[in-house]
Amino acid sequence: MRALECWIVALNRALVAIVLAIVFAIVFINVVGRYGFNTSFAWAEEVARHLMILGAFAGAGLALREGRLVAIDALPIMLPRRYELALRWAIVAVMFVFMAVMGWLGIRFVEFGWNKETMSTGISRGIPYLAIPIGCALFLVQLAFFAKRFVAQDFEIQAGGASVE
C-alpha cells in the first residue's frame, strides 16, 4: 500500500514538473523564434495555456500533501483535541464530496464540449476540458491516501523550500 502511494506520488510529481517544463519550453522558443527568426507559431499560445491548466488541476492533490492549500485554522486549533480531530475528518469528507461532484460535472462538461472546437488548433474543446476530471480524480486518490495525515496536519515539507529552522 505504502509502495503504491509512493509510486502514485512520484508519477504525479513527474507529470506536473514535465508539464511545466514543456510549457516553459514552448513559450521561450516562441520568443526566440519571433525575435530571432521572425516566425511564431499560431498554436503555441493555446497549447501552452491548456497544458498549464492540466498541470494546475493535476497538482492540486500534491499541494494538499504539502500543506499549500491554506485554511483559516483559528477554530480547529482552539477546540479540544477530540473535537478538532472530528472537525478535520469532517473537512476531509467535505473536500472529498466536493471534488467528486466537480469530477462528475467535469465529465459531463467534457461531453458538452466534445463537438466544439478550440480557436487556434481546432481540436475538440472536450480535450482541454479533460483537465478537470483528471485533476479531480488525482486529487481524490491523493486525499484517500493522505486523509489520516491531513487530519493530524502532518504535511510533507519539501527540502529547499519553506524549511527554515
Partner 1 sequence: KDLKYAHFQSADLSSPKHAAALAFESCVEGKTSGSIDVQIFPASQLGGGSEIMEGLQLGTVQMAAVHDGPISAVYKPFSVLAIPYIFDDQAMAWSVMDGEFGDAMAEDMLAKTGIRMFGVADNGVRNFTNNVRPVAEPKDMEGLKMRVMTAPVWVTLVESLGASATPVPWPELPGALQQGVVDGQENGVTNIVNASLYQHQKYVSLDGHVFSWHAYLMSEDFFQGLSDAEKTAVTQCVEIAKTIHRGMTAAQDANATAILSEKGMEVVPVSPDQKAKFRAAAQPKVREFVVSEIGAEWPDRLDAAVEAYRNQ
Partner 2 sequence: MANTLILLFFATLFLGVPVAFTMGIAGITAVLIDGSLNPLIATQRMFAGIDSFPLMAVPFFILASELMTACGLTNALLRFANALVGHLRGGLGHVNILVSMLFAGISGSALADAAGPSAIVMRMMRQAGYDKNYAGALSAATATIGPIIPPSILAVIFAISTNGVTVAGLFLAGIVPGVLLGIGLAIANHIVSTRNGYRGRDSRADFTELRNATLAALPAIIMPAIILGGILLGIFTPTEAGAVASAYALLLGFVARAFTLRGLYDAFTRAAIVTASVFLIVAMASIFAWLLTYLQIPQDLAKAVAGLTDSKIGILLILAGFALVCGFFIDTLPALIILTPVLGPIAYSAGIDPLQFGMMLVLNLTIGMITPPVGPVLFVIAAVGKLRIEALSKAVLPLLFAELIVLMLVILVPGITTFVPNLFGFAN
Interaction site with partner 1 (CB under 8 A): 34, 38-40, 42, 45-46, 112-113, 116-120, 122, 125
Cell of 84: 478538532
Q: Is residue 60 within 8 Å of residue 138, measured between CB atoms?
A: yes
Closer to partner 1 at the Cβ: 57 or 150? 57
Closer to partner 2 at the Cβ: 4 or 73? 73
Selected from 6, 11, 42, 75, the binder of partner 2 by CB under 8 A is 75
Among 65, 45, 41, 51, smallest CA distance to 21 is for 51
- Examine residue 58 and tell whether it contacts partner 2 (CB under 8 A): yes
- Examine residue 80 and tell whether it contacts partner 2 (CB under 8 A): no
Q: Which residues inside 103-132 make contact with partner 2, applying CB under 8 A?
A: 105-106, 108-109, 112, 128-129, 131-132
> Residue 43 is inside which H or E element, if any?
none
- Examine residue 144 and tell whether it contacts partner 2 (CB under 8 A): no
> Shortest approach of partner 2 to residue 87 CB, angstroms?
7
Among 155, 165, 164, 160, smallest CA distance to 68 is for 155
Q: Is residue 64 within 8 Å of residue 150, measured between CB atoms?
A: yes
Non-local (6+) Cβ contacts of 67 within 8 A are 153, 155, 156, 157
Among 52, 68, 50, smallest CA distance to 60 is for 68
* Residue at grid coordinates 500534491: 62
Closer to partner 1 at the Cβ: 67 or 124? 124
Among 46, 16, 39, smallest CA distance to 123 is for 46
Residues that bind partner 2 (CB under 8 A): 13, 16-17, 19-21, 23-24, 27-28, 30-31, 35, 45, 48-50, 52-53, 55-60, 62-64, 66, 68-76, 87-88, 90-91, 94-95, 98, 101-102, 105-106, 108-109, 112, 128-129, 131-132, 158-162, 164-165
